[in-house]
Amino acid sequence: MEPYLYCPLCAERLDLVMMHGRNRKFCPSCSWVHYINPLPVAIAFTVNKNDDLLLVRRAHEPAFNEWSLPGGFLEAGEDASDACLRELMEETSLKGTIENLIGIYQKEVEVYGSLLVLAYRVRVTDASIAINHELFEAGFYPQHLIPDVRIPLHQEIIRDAALYELVH
Ligand SMILES: [Zn+2]
């Protein structure tokens, strides 16, 4: 993420000032402050009726060609759980229902900056997949035989989903 150089309200050159414990861009003319907030993301840990796990191979950056869980950014005004099911539907045509929240995660990603990630466990009954342009492939795998997931956040969500199952 490129930092702002000029005030988006009045076009004055921004200063860098220490404010509320962080260095922030500040407009000396109109007092606008650049508060940087994370982008919210919803991720779907999706299982079918046999508890097989849905994994997708990404056809776009970041993590091009990597196996992952489906998911994407929330739209403004959208419930996180709705965003989770919408992203699942857009990527795979699967219609799911939310079972539970697995966890909330904070990640720094070079292209997007700070992300706030909400991971849900999702159940699908009709498991016929039709992928969109964002993916190379998608499939349900027995949870002990899944492809090699190398994205640390997604590894963490998969671990946490298993832990959640153990304690509930
Ligand atoms: Zn200004």
Average pLDDT, the chain: 95
Same domain (yes/no): 161, 126: yes
Rg (CA), the chain: 19
Averaged pLDDT, 97-116 = 94
- CA of 7 from ligand 1 middle (Å) equals 5
Is the Cβ–Cβ distance between 92 and 130 less than 8 Å?
Answer: yes
Give residue 122 CA to ligand 1 midpoint distance, Å.
Answer: 45
**pLDDT score, position 1:** 60
pTM above 0.75, yes or no: yes
Are 162 and 96 in the same domain? yes
Please indicate, yes or no, whether residues 56 and 124 belong to a single structural domain of this protein. yes
Total number of domains in the chain:
2
Are residue 106 and residue 54 in the same domain, yes or no?
Answer: yes
So what's the pLDDT on residue 32? 97
Q: How far is the CA of 26 from the centre of ligand 1 (A)?
A: 8
Average pLDDT (95-124) is 96
Cis peptide bond prior to 152, omega within 30° of 0: no
Is residue 31 located within the same domain as residue 52? Answer: no
69 pLDDT higher than 70: yes
- Output the pLDDT for position 127: 80
Q: What is the mean pLDDT of residues 70-88?
A: 98
Let me know whether 32 and 100 are in one domain. no
* Interval 154-161 mean pLDDT: 97
Are 24 and 72 found together in one domain?
no
User: How much is the pLDDT for 57?
Assistant: 98
Per the structure, the complete domain to which residue 16 belongs is given by 1-36
How remote is the CA of residue 37 from the centroid of ligand 1, in Å? 19
User: What's residue 50's pLDDT?
Assistant: 95
Strands (E), 3-145: 15-19, 22-26, 33-34, 39-47, 53-58, 67-68, 71-73, 96-109, 113-124, 135-141
State both tokens at 43: 């991720």
Listed residue (51, 73, 43) closest to 149, CA to CA:
43
* Å from CA of 4 to ligand 1 middle: 12
With a CB cutoff of 8 Å and minimum separation 6, the contacts of 119 are: 42, 43, 44, 45, 69, 71, 101, 102, 103, 104, 105, 157, 160, 161
CA of 38 to the centre of ligand 1 (A): 22
Same domain, 16 and 97: no
For 121-143, how does the pLDDT look when each residue is reduced to its tens digit (9 = 90+)? Answer: 999 998 899 999 999 999 999 99
State whether 84 and 146 are in the same domain: yes
Residues 129/94, Cβ–Cβ less than 8 Å? yes
When pLDDT is averaged across residues 21-25 and rounded to a whole number, the result is 95
